[in-house]
Amino acid sequence: MASHDETSAEDRLIARHFAPLATHPGALGLTDDAAFITPPPGSEIVLKADAIIGGVHFFPEDDAATVAQKALRVNLSDLASKGATPLGYLLSLALPKDIGEAWLARFAQGLREDAERYGCPLFGGDTDRTPGPITISIAMVGSVPAGTMVRRAGAKPGDLVFVSGSVGDSTLGLVLRKGLDVPLSEAQRQHLASRYLLPQPRNALAEAVRMHASASMDVSDGLAGDFAKLCRVSQVGAEVEAARVPLSDAARAVVAADPKLLLTALSGGDDYEIVCTVPPTKAAGFRAAAEAAGVPVSEIGRVIAGQGARFLGADGQPLVFERASFSHF
């Protein structure tokens, strides 16, 4: 995140807001053009980059600290699904002119809190001006013991399908924020709104995934579509019982009021849960490890020979999704 000019406003911005976040010695206090990191012995580096954009992934009025944490956590979620431990991150910011000191201070505070929470210091990056919406791009660096990263490919017929946490809260929270009128308690509304604003990445589950899962990915664009991607890469099919997919009490209340929204919950984005396949012989160990990590997991289906992931309704017939997952394009 080094500046192009020693006395530039960019230097002052970096020194004030971001240099305090560069706590790893290899970040060199953000005074150089690059940083360095020594991987833990016997490990491999895991890399992930993702961006969030104002007006697409968050609202302009959202708290800057929450925006910063969402940007970090969507990347942390991918590391968790690979069984990886975070080591640090690079940050690139494209800032409109109306972003001022107060917003940047809150943004840096959000980064600082999550850097401590998840053990991922800042290593560097870049800052630029943009005439368009604010864009926050993060490149996350993690590690796994050599040869143990859990890929999307690897699911085998007979494997059990598990998903962490609950599905659909975030997309239903967004639907409510956009004006859907459903009778809910204030606590239920707050729960759904918070899941959209601030993902809860399942990094505590990473070791359990690495030790037990045959294939895994994070659910960022919708469970139905994302799990279909895993099956496609693994060259298998799967059957998932929609009734076994875990929904929060708030999500169940929304679906009870409008049953069509079950399809939205299953196909909407921003869950940041983990969907994985586990051989039957490892299922008990996976459940025990998840419980020890404090992360709920639910068995929702089984991998079969063939192609495609089918989500079955209560009548045993496949559900038909208008769009199985969120797409930017």
CATH number at residue 175: 3.90.650.10
The answer to the question of residue 244 being in a domain is yes
pLDDT < 70 stretches in the chain: 1-7, 323-329
Q: Is 229 helix (H, G, I), strand (E, B) or coil?
A: helix
- Return the pLDDT at 5: 47
Q: Which two tokens stand for residue 315?
A: 């009548």
Residue length, the chain?
Answer: 329
My answer on whether 169 and 304 are in the same domain is yes
My answer on whether 112 and 252 are in the same domain is no
Q: State the virtual CA torsion across 93, 99, 105, 108 in degrees, nearest 10.
A: -20
Q: Which residues pair with 298 in a beta bridge?
A: 163
My answer on whether 124 and 230 are in the same domain is no
Nearest alpha carbon to residue 80 among 233, 213, 212, 201: 201
Could you give the C-alpha distances from 129 to 31, 96, 97, 105, 132, in angstroms and in order? 20, 6, 7, 17, 9
- Return the pLDDT at 7: 54
My answer on whether 127 and 265 are in the same domain is no
Asked whether the beta carbons of 141 and 54 are under 8 A apart, the reply is no
211 phi and psi, to 5 degrees?
A: -85, -25
Asked whether the beta carbons of 165 and 276 are under 8 A apart, the reply is no
- Return the pLDDT at 35: 94
Nearest-angstrom CA–CA distance, 206 and 213: 10
Asked whether the beta carbons of 90 and 50 are under 8 A apart, the reply is no
- Return the pLDDT at 329: 42
The answer to the question of residue 152 being in a domain is no
Look up the domain containing 67 and give its range. 9-145
Number of domains in the chain: 2
My answer on whether 238 and 285 are in the same domain is yes
Please, what is the end-to-end C-alpha distance for the chain in angstroms? 30
Nearest-angstrom CA–CA distance, 282 and 156: 13
My answer on whether 194 and 308 are in the same domain is yes
Could you give the C-alpha distances from 245 to 90, 179, 301, in angstroms and in order? 35, 26, 9
The answer to the question of residue 1 being in a domain is no
The answer to the question of residue 100 being in a domain is yes
43-53, strands of its sheet edge to edge: 43-53, 135-145, 85-95, 122-129
Identity of the residue numbered 160: L
CATH of the domain at 59: 3.30.1330.10
- Return the pLDDT at 327: 53
My answer on whether 114 and 184 are in the same domain is no
Nearest-angstrom CA–CA distance, 108 and 69: 10
My answer on whether 170 and 94 are in the same domain is no
Contacts of 278 (CB under 8 A, 6+ apart): 159, 160, 162, 212, 213, 214, 286
Asked whether the beta carbons of 273 and 218 are under 8 A apart, the reply is yes
User: Where are the extended beta strands (E) located within 131-243?
Assistant: 135-145, 160-164, 215-219, 237-241
The answer to the question of residue 150 being in a domain is no
Asked whether the beta carbons of 124 and 90 are under 8 A apart, the reply is yes
Identity of the residue numbered 302: R
Could you give the C-alpha distances from 304 to 19, 104, 159, 215, 235, in angstroms and in order? 51, 50, 8, 14, 10
The answer to the question of residue 154 being in a domain is no
Nearest-angstrom CA–CA distance, 112 and 58: 20
